């Protein structure tokens, strides 16, 4: 009784943060009794971190339980490595793809890391992302990919997602708000400002919707309304006014829907009364600026959150935040308590961690509850923050194109002969090593070129085989190399050099190997 009294008095004098940390320590102490330290490998040695490329390492933890935990970590001080997000089939309009296929799609593609286009992605590690609609393939939360705000996070969405910025800052988003008056197009010729309604969603009546290359190959709109093609100087990122992403109007398509979306362009699509405003304001050759802002609040959606979304480079939705500033969170929903396969992102001031835990396999790996995941992240990795992504049969880790873990869906669990195959998902996260920019000088703007091939050649919307096909060109077709304002003519991407060429009705990108 005396001990209890003294403990009670001591706890009363503790701050709330100290109480939370004490609670976390007690939880960790209890749960660590169910974990042993990593078992040794076949050589009798602990599985240490393996360097894949400078700045990115991998390690497999084999725990009692049993549990297999696959962990990759990125050194936040290594400037040539970064985090990016992947989009299934390259389109948020709806698509599903395995993590391996998404990694392959992004490998050797051009990047905007360092705030300039031209470096190439070497995809080192890839994991699955957030939940999605299995019928449409559309992610159920927002996404930022290579600085492009590709899909808005839901209004007042609490626990919006993991965020990585161009300044190498990392945080877990709280409640987000898009004030319409802060999502604006500025027509720089006359200074007029026009709010827009959304990005990369089907256009409704009397709306202005902005479409980025991550939406689909085209806007998929009906013929009524007006669509303005704008070539940008950088991705359409989150950049609050008075800052803006600027661009030049290249085409005005009135009464023509389904406008193709080149890789460094957007399409401003307006209908009804909004179309009338745009018709009176925009002309080819004029400059426009676009500002976007996310107001960031704490989970209550009342108090401002100090973490800034401006210049976010990569983000996807996340579910449970199981670790906050070193404190293990109290989670009570059934899906949080039960052991299952898990995918998560955790971090501290030194590293970003990707974690995948195998599950649904009583002989090899049971899976973890959220609290167990928090204890592991905090005690084994030294992480201070952690949040879960989609788990279960979606949990997948791929390293340099090779599947590392053993995904098990419900159907595979019932049929052991079909186990360990990847589930197609809607998006993911990647650890990427940025390779240097390489340029061919074989041609220059104004050069006449001819398609030299035995069969049709693809004219693409961007420099790389990861971009959609705009049209096909017959052998012998003649064109002219045209200026590219972002300086990417002759750029190396996806193992080929690419040139922007005009073939009369169409302008697009062609591989140098087919040009003479």
Residue 381 tokens, joined: 């990795």
Same domain, 327 and 406: yes
Same domain, 414 and 491: no
Structural domains in the chain (count): 4
Same domain, 147 and 107: yes
Going by C-alpha positions, the residue among 102, 73, 106 that lies closest to residue 89 is 102
Three-class SS state of 161? coil
Going by C-alpha positions, the residue among 95, 153, 91, 87 that lies closest to residue 126 is 87
Same domain, 245 and 326: no
The phi and psi torsions of 133 (rounded to 5 degrees) equal -80, 115
pLDDT at 414: 52
Q: Quick one: DSSP state of residue 513? A: G
Give the length of the chain: 516
Same domain, 24 and 7: yes
Same domain, 329 and 210: no
Residues sharing a CB contact under 8 Å with residue 119, sequence separation 6 or more, in sequence order? 110, 111, 113, 434, 435, 436, 437
Beta bridge partners of 176: 157, 296
Within 10 angstroms of residue 513's Cβ, the number of other Cβ atoms is: 11
pLDDT at 22: 47
CA 292, distance to chain mean position in Å, is: 18
Q: Quick one: DSSP state of residue 157? A: B
pLDDT at 126: 98
Going by C-alpha positions, the residue among 84, 72, 153 that lies closest to residue 114 is 84
Q: How far apart are CA 238 and CA 165, in angstroms?
A: 10
CA 296, distance to chain mean position in Å, is: 19
Three-class SS state of 23? helix
Domain presence at residue 219: yes
Choosing from 381, 408, 434, the residue where a domain stops is 434
Going by C-alpha positions, the residue among 290, 291, 236, 285 that lies closest to residue 262 is 236
Tens digits of per-residue pLDDT, 165-220? Answer: 999 999 999 999 999 999 999 999 999 999 999 999 999 999 999 999 999 999 99
Domain presence at residue 215: yes
Domain presence at residue 218: yes
Q: How far apart are CA 454 and CA 473, in angstroms?
A: 11
Q: Which residues of the chain fall below pLDDT 70?
A: 1-47, 409-419
Domain presence at residue 273: yes
Within 10 angstroms of residue 438's Cβ, the number of other Cβ atoms is: 13
pLDDT at 410: 56
Sign of CA dihedral 62, 66, 72, 73: negative
Domain presence at residue 39: no
Question: How many H helices and E strands in the chain?
Answer: 7, 35
Residue 429 tokens, joined: 């996260």
Domain presence at residue 412: yes
149 close to 211: Cβ distance less than 8 angstroms: no
Residues sharing a CB contact under 8 Å with residue 311, sequence separation 6 or more, in sequence order? 147, 165, 166, 167, 237, 238, 239
Same domain, 308 and 430: yes
Q: How far apart are CA 158 and CA 151, in angstroms?
A: 16
pLDDT at 158: 78
Going by C-alpha positions, the residue among 299, 73, 57 that lies closest to residue 175 is 299
Same domain, 15 and 79: no
Same domain, 201 and 136: no
Q: What is the largest CA-CA distance in the chain?
A: 95
Choosing from 434, 462, 477, the residue where a domain stops is 434
Same domain, 352 and 428: yes
Is residue 242 reached through a cis peptide bond, with omega within 30 degrees of 0 on the bond before it? yes
Q: How far apart are CA 321 and CA 148, in angstroms?
A: 25
Within 10 angstroms of residue 192's Cβ, the number of other Cβ atoms is: 12
Q: Give the CA radius of gyration of the chain.
A: 25
Give pTM, 2 decimals.
0.90
Boundaries of domain holding 7: 2-32
Q: Quick one: DSSP state of residue 24? A: H
Three-class SS state of 355? strand
Domain presence at residue 398: yes
Domain presence at residue 440: no
Same domain, 162 and 110: yes
Sheet with strand 56-63: strands edge to edge: 50-53, 56-63, 67-75, 351-357, 342-347, 385-388, 321-324, 327-328
pLDDT at 304: 95
Q: Quick one: DSSP state of residue 334? A: H
Three-class SS state of 100? helix
Q: How far apart are CA 354 and CA 157, in angstroms?
A: 23
Same domain, 389 and 324: yes
Q: How far apart are CA 350 and CA 217, in angstroms?
A: 39
CA dist 497 to 189, 311, 371, 475, 503, Å? 36, 29, 49, 19, 18
H-helix or E-strand containing 470? strand 469-473
């Amino acid at each position: 009784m005396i001990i209890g009294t003294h403990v009670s008095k001591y706890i009363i004098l503790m701050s709330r943060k100290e109480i939370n940390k004490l609670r976390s320590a007690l939880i960790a102490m209890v749960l660590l009794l169910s974990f042993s330290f990593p078992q040794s490998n076949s050589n009798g040695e602990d599985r240490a971190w393996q360097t894949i490329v400078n700045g990115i390492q991998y390690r497999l933890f084999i725990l009692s339980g049993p549990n297999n935990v696959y962990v990759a970590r990125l050194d936040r001080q290594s400037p040539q490595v970064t985090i990016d997000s992947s989009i299934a089939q390259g389109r948020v309009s709806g698509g599903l793809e395995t993590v391996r296929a998404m990694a392959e799609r992004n490998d050797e593609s051009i990047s905007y890391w360092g705030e300039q286009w031209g470096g190439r992605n070497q995809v080192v590690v890839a994991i699955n992302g957030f939940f999605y609609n299995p019928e449409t393939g559309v992610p159920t939360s927002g996404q930022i990919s290579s600085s492009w705000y590709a899909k808005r996070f839901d209004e007042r969405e609490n626990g919006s997602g993991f965020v990585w910025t161009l300044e190498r800052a990392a945080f877990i988003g709280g409640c987000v708000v898009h004030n319409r008056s802060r999502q604006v197009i500025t027509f720089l010729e006359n200074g007029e400002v026009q709010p827009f309604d959304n990005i990369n969603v089907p256009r409704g009546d009397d709306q202005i919707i902005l479409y980025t290359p991550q939406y689909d190959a085209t806007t998929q709109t009906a013929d009524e309304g007006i669509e303005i093609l704008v070539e940008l100087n950088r991705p359409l990122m989150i950049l609050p006014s008075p800052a803006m992403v600027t661009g030049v109007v290249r085409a005005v398509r009135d009464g023509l829907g389904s406008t193709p979306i080149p890789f460094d362009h957007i399409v401003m699509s307006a209908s009804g009364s909004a179309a009338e405003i745009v018709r009176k304001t925009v002309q080819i050759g004029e400059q426009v600026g676009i500002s976007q802002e996310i107001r960031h609040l704490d989970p209550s959606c009342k108090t401002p959150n100090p973490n800034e979304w401006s210049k976010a480079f990569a983000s996807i939705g996340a579910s449970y935040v199981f670790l906050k500033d070193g404190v293990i969170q109290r989670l009570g929903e059934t899906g949080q308590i039960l052991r299952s396969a898990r995918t998560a992102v955790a971090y501290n001031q030194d590293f970003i961690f990707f974690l995948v835990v195998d599950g649904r396999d009583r002989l090899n790996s049971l899976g973890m509850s959220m609290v167990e995941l928090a204890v592991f992240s905090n005690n084994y990795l030294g992480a201070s923050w952690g949040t879960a992504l989609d788990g279960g049969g979606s949990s997948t880790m791929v390293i340099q194109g090779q599947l590392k873990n053993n995904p098990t869906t419900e159907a595979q669990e019932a049929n052991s002969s079909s186990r360990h195959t990847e589930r197609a998902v809607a998006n993911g996260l990647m650890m990427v090593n940025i390779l240097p920019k390489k340029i061919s000088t074989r041609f220059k703007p104004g050069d006449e070129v001819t398609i030299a091939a035995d069969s049709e050649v693809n004219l693409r919307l961007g420099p790389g085989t990861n971009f959609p096909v705009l049209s096909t060109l017959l052998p012998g077709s003649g064109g002219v190399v045209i200026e590219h304002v972002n300086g990417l003519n002759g750029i190396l991407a996806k193992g080929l050099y690419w040139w922007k060429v005009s073939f009369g009705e169409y302008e697009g990108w062609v591989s140098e190997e087919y040009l003479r």
